[in-house]
Amino acid sequence: MPSDLVHLYMRIDHLPQIWCPGCGNGVIMRDVAVAIDELIHDEENSINREDIVIVSGIGCSSRAAGYLDFNSIHTTHGRAIAFASGIKMANPKLHVIVLTGDGDCSAIGGNHLIHAARRNLGLTVVCFNNDIYGMTGGQYSPTTPHGDRATTAPYGNVDRPFDIANLASGAGASFSARGDVYHARETIDIIKQAILHKGFSLVDVYSICPTYYGRKNKKGDAVEMLKWQKENLVPTARYYSMSEGERANKKLIGILSFNDYPEYTEEYARIIALCRKAKKK
Amino acid sequence: MYGRKKLVIEEKWCKGCGICAAFCPKEVLEIRAEKVAVRDVEQCISCGLCELRCPDYAIYLVNMEE
Amino acid sequence: MSKTVLMQGNEAAVEGAIAAGMRFFAGYPITPSTEIAETCALRLPQEGGKFIQMEDEISSIAAVLGASAAGMKAMTATSGPGFSLMQENLGYGAMAEIPCVIVDVQRSGPSTGLPTSPSQGDYMQARWGTHGDHPVIALSPASVLETYTLMIRAFNLAEKYRTPVIFLMDEIVGHMREGVELPDPGKLIINQRKMSFHDGANKQCYFVPEGEYVPAMKPFGQGERYNITGLAHDESGFPVNSSEIAGRLVKRLLDKVEKNTDHICRVEEIEMDDAETAIVCFGGTTRAARDAVNAARAVGKKVGMFRPVTVWPFPEKQLRARLPQLKRILVVEHNHGQMLLEVQRCVGGALPVGFLGRIDGTVISPRDILARLGEMEGMHHAE
């Protein structure tokens, strides 16, 4: 018997999941389930379970859509945000949550990410960012650090990486944040805020891939990789209490940018109302 | 052991990654034959960090029955 | 009484779609289809519908599939280069059984080609553009009025068979302006998709009763949780690795169309009752073919026109029925011989099949067709 949470929000017939031992994706998927559960039971901001749609693309991360017991759609590689845009437009009351990966949302789907951010369409994108293409066996992705190894970077990665949360901020995302596997509780809270945020929200969650990225780059096992997160990724309060020197090479776990630009489907509803009024005259 | 929660292990789902044992603040858990095992349940403080970070949902806390 | 209005083919595509219930359009500007997006942007909010200009054609069809899954009748429109970009998600729509209409206003290719010039070079792409074996329905209108009425049929077929329908226009029809008398909206037949609202316990969202081919559809976000995927899946909608289940699924998808060709395939025939020569054509080419038939008839030649309105699946039963009376067939199309291959397959060498095509962006004239017919007859007499 799994826990009540798993029983309630996951399709247990399809578990245990296919991810490798120590893969961070399972933790992030649980974070999403906990965030939703807490919002469903939140008296102030209660959301309806049936209004949640999980949309994913292709890759390790995107298998999450099949495990989570909500309306779920597992789409094509890179296109989850585009499918989600249509779902949200068709039915704006839905909470459309995109579960994607670093390759899915910033390489093949990078264009859709920046344009959904720019439009401020009310989607929540949770990126399971493990710095590698796992499903195809360990090729470098747009977030693989410069110099790191991958099966397609046998001499070290020539590319310079994206910081996906900053990329979304730069594209105009009205909510952009970073989470990780180690700081699961903080990440759950960030995902909750992202879901409640009316406009476009992105949470770039640093996952771990001990099997491919970790092994190729001598980062140790899952435990070692999480220890690295503990040391180098810093939740908001502590981050801002640190001196600039202390922050060097550290990254913030928390919200990077936030504002209340008008949300796209609400803006469009205004256009419909305008047209209807003109028609009546 | 304090708190009113019981530690439950779903051994079939455990992939033996060791995250729960490594980050348990009271060293309650250990890995034996590639599966999680309870080393010393008396030390458990029901903090739930093992459940929080288990990628495979193989360990969790339940409220003790009255 | 309905009044006559001057309308462009691209505008008629939108008005027909709105009459069919289309309320969501996602697209990206591309000549010569752009007026479809522009007209949707103007007209849809007036009808309570929604328009979104996406960042490319890939996202356009993705958004359309998303909106359709969420319960809306949805459409996108493009031309050759954009149609190529849509192919992967077109296959997704076929696999996940999400109805939608994809308009391709064909232009001269390959590549950027001659963007403002007519062509029918996407005929085979419409059939085989996406990977894997998949069902395809494609319709091709020949006039502005038919663009309106056939668009309604395109949505009806998409909804009935739960599959993307390709509306294969060309620059000739898309940019043509004609006076049209639109049918009385009350007399239109509009189909809605078959919906299923089982109790929550029944998760068999792709359940198909014995003897049927199309599962009823559950909309997203209306109380029933289920899974949609482009992976091979069983009736519950979840991925499987079983070759037996995967094979059965793809066979059923193909059968949806193949077992229903009597319903899906429509042709237009002109002067075919006693014809000895058939001009086979589709879409915008029909205009010149019709003039050529009239001119040939005026000098006593038994020439008729056979036009697939449903271009995929190719209406082979209808063409085969005409073969015994025919001495020759001339296939006329604005490409290098694409529907020609389908005609040759159906004829199987029983008759001479001639071809007239153009790949230079210019329009085939009735005179070109008559000249080619004359050549064919000459060859025939010489035998």
Q: How far apart are the first and last CA of chain C?
A: 56
Residue B63 or C364, more confident: C364
Task: Please state, rounded to an integer, the average pLDDT across all residues of chain A.
Answer: 97
- Of the candidates B16, B18, B60, which has its C-beta nearest A3's C-beta? B60
Peptide bond into C110 cis (omega under 30): yes
Task: Name chain A contacts of B55, Cβ cutoff 8 Å.
Answer: 19, 22-27, 30, 222
Per-residue model confidence as pLDDT tens digits over A178-228: 999 999 999 999 999 999 999 999 999 999 999 999 999 999 999 999 999
How near does any CA of chain A get to the CA of B13, in Å? 6
Mean pLDDT lowest among C78-87, C90-99, C190-199: C190-199
| pTM for the full predicted model | 0.97
Q: What is the pLDDT of residue C229?
A: 96
How near does any CA of chain B get to the CA of A52, in Å? 22
Cα angle C280, C286, C289; round to 5:
70
Please give the residue range of the domain that contains residue A153.
4-280
Q: How buried is C179 (Cβ within 10 angstroms: 0-12 exposed, 13-18 middle, 19+ buried)?
A: exposed
State yes or no: pLDDT of C223 exceeds 80. no
Q: With contact defined as beta carbons under 8 Å apart, do C117 and C107 qualify?
A: yes
Mean pLDDT, to the nearest integer, of A225-233?
Answer: 98
Q: What is the pLDDT of residue C202?
A: 52
Q: What is the pLDDT of residue B2?
A: 52
Helix, coil or strand: residue A1: coil
For C145, which DSSP code?
Answer: H
Q: What is the pLDDT of residue A1?
A: 78
Q: What is the pLDDT of residue C382?
A: 47
Residue A67 or C377, more confident: A67
In chain A, which residue's Cα lies nearest the Cα of B20? A223
Q: Which of C56, C41, C138, C52 is nearest to C89 (CA)?
A: C56
Q: What is the pLDDT of residue B1?
A: 47
Q: What is the pLDDT of residue A269?
A: 98
Residue A222 or A45, more confident: A222
Per-residue model confidence as pLDDT tens digits over A123-139: 999 999 999 999 999 99
Helix, coil or strand: residue A68: strand
State yes or no: pLDDT of C81 exceeds 80. yes
Helices then strands, each counted (H, E), chain C: 13, 16
Q: With contact defined as beta carbons under 8 Å apart, do A63 and A55 qualify?
A: no
Domains plus CATH for chain C?
1-264 (3.40.50.970), 268-382 (3.40.50.920)
State yes or no: pLDDT of A90 exceeds 90. yes
Cβ B13–A16 below 8 Å, yes or no?
Answer: yes
> Would you give the distance in Å from CA A279 to the centre of its chain?
42
CA-to-CA distance for C205 and C216, rounded, in angstroms?
A: 8
**B5-63 classified as CATH 3.30.70.20:** yes
Mean pLDDT, to the nearest integer, of C57-66?
Answer: 98
Cα angle C80, C167, C50; round to 5:
95
Q: What is the pLDDT of residue C225?
A: 87
Residue with tokens 């309905």, as numbered in its chain:
C2
CATH of the domain at A39: 3.40.50.970
Per-residue model confidence as pLDDT tens digits over A113-125: 999 999 999 999 9
Q: Which pair of structure tokens corresponds to residue A140? A: 């470098």
List Cβ neighbours of A144 (8 Å cut-off, separation of 6 or more): A131, A132, A150, A153, A157, A159, A161, A213
The confidence band for C104, taking pLDDT boundaries of 50, 70 and 90, is very high
The confidence band for C221, taking pLDDT boundaries of 50, 70 and 90, is confident
Beta bridge partners of A56: A74, A99
Q: What is the pLDDT of residue C383?
A: 43
Residue A137 or C201, more confident: A137
Q: What percent of chain B has pLDDT over 90?
A: 86
Alpha helices (H) along chain C: 9-20, 34-43, 57-69, 80-96, 123-128, 144-161, 171-174, 243-258, 261-264, 286-298, 316-322, 339-347, 366-382
Q: What is the pLDDT of residue B25?
A: 97
In chain B, what are the domain boundaries? Answer: 5-63
- Chain A residues whose C-beta is within 8 A of a chain C C-beta are 11, 14, 50-51, 53, 55, 65-66, 69-76, 79, 81-91, 93-94, 111-112, 115, 268, 271-272, 274-276, 278-279
CA-to-CA distance for A278 and B60, rounded, in angstroms?
A: 59
CA-to-CA distance for A116 and A101, rounded, in angstroms?
A: 16
Mean pLDDT, to the nearest integer, of B59-64?
Answer: 93
Q: What is the pLDDT of residue C205?
A: 87
Interface contact C231, partner A, CB < 8 A: yes
Q: With contact defined as beta carbons under 8 Å apart, do A60 and A130 qualify?
A: yes
Task: Please state, rounded to an integer, the average pLDDT across all residues of chain C.
Answer: 95
- Of the candidates A6, A182, A227, which has its C-beta nearest B57's C-beta? A6
Q: How far apart are the first and last CA of chain A?
A: 63
The confidence band for C198, taking pLDDT boundaries of 50, 70 and 90, is low
Task: Please state, rounded to an integer, the average pLDDT across all residues of chain B.
Answer: 92
State yes or no: pLDDT of C197 exceeds 80. no
The confidence band for C146, taking pLDDT boundaries of 50, 70 and 90, is very high
Per-residue model confidence as pLDDT tens digits over B4-46: 799 999 999 999 999 999 999 999 999 999 999 999 999 999 9
Where residue C189 falls (left for φ over 0; alpha for ψ -120 to 50; beta otherwise) is beta
Mean pLDDT, to the nearest integer, of C299-323?
Answer: 98
Beta bridge partners of C53: C27
What is the secondary structure of chain B as a DSSP string? --SSEEEEE-GGG-----HHHHT-TT--EEEETTEEEES-GGG-----HHHHH-TT--EEEEEPP-
